[in-house]
């Protein structure tokens, strides 16, 4: 899974927590991407088995898509909290966490999470 795919899955997860349904236009607005870009990404995610789209084009995560989205979202929340705890402003912390969450190893993230709990 590439970083862009993880970003889309995380966005779908976040939107599904806010709204009853998730549509491609919601993703466009949330991420600031064009309709063609989001449409192509949704096609790739659907073909990969990460999302499903119903007759009304409402988007839901499959179990595998939800697993990836929750992993990335957990990383985002924890890393943002860590950065804020050391004095980084919330906006910058969220932006930096968004970059780090895709490249940090599972081993390092586990250590970070353990450190935060102390």
Q: 1: pLDDT confidence band, cut at 50, 70 and 90?
A: low
Which residues, 6+ apart, have CB-to-CB distance to 52 below 8 Å?
A: 46, 59, 60, 61, 62
pLDDT at 117: 80
Q: Which residue ranges form the domains of the chain, and what is each CATH number?
A: 3-67 (1.10.10.10), 72-117 (1.10.60)
Which sign, positive or negative, has the C-alpha torsion 31, 98, 44, 64? negative
pTM of the model: 0.83
Q: What's the DSSP call for residue 56? A: T
Judged against a pLDDT cut of 80, whether residue 118 lies above it is answered with no
pLDDT at 90: 94
Q: What's the DSSP call for residue 53? A: E
Q: How far apart are the first and last CA of the chain?
A: 32
pLDDT at 54: 92
Condensed to tens digits (0 to 9), the pLDDT of residues 13-41 reads 999 999 889 999 999 999 999 999 999 99
- Helix, coil or strand: residue 58: coil
pLDDT at 50: 96
Rounded mean pLDDT, 54-81:
93
Rounded mean pLDDT, 8-17:
94
Which sign, positive or negative, has the C-alpha torsion 95, 97, 99, 102? negative
Nearest-angstrom CA–CA distance, 94 and 98? 6
Which residues, 6+ apart, have CB-to-CB distance to 8 below 8 Å?
A: 27, 31, 38, 41, 42, 45
Nearest-angstrom CA–CA distance, 8 and 26? 11
pLDDT at 3: 73
Rounded mean pLDDT, 63-68:
95
């Amino acid at each position: 899974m590439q970083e862009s795919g993880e970003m889309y899955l995380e966005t779908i997860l976040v939107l599904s927590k806010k709204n009853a349904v998730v549509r491609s236009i919601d993703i466009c607005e949330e991420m600031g991407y064009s309709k063609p870009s989001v449409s192509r990404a949704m096609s790739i995610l659907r073909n990969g088995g990460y999302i499903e789209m119903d007759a009304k084009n409402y988007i839901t995560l499959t179990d595998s898509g939800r697993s990836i989205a929750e992993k990335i979202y957990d990383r985002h929340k924890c890393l943002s909290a860590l950065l804020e705890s050391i004095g980084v402003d919330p906006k910058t912390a969220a932006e930096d966490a968004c970059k780090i969450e895709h490249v940090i190893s599972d081993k390092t993230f586990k250590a970070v999470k353990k450190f935060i709990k102390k």
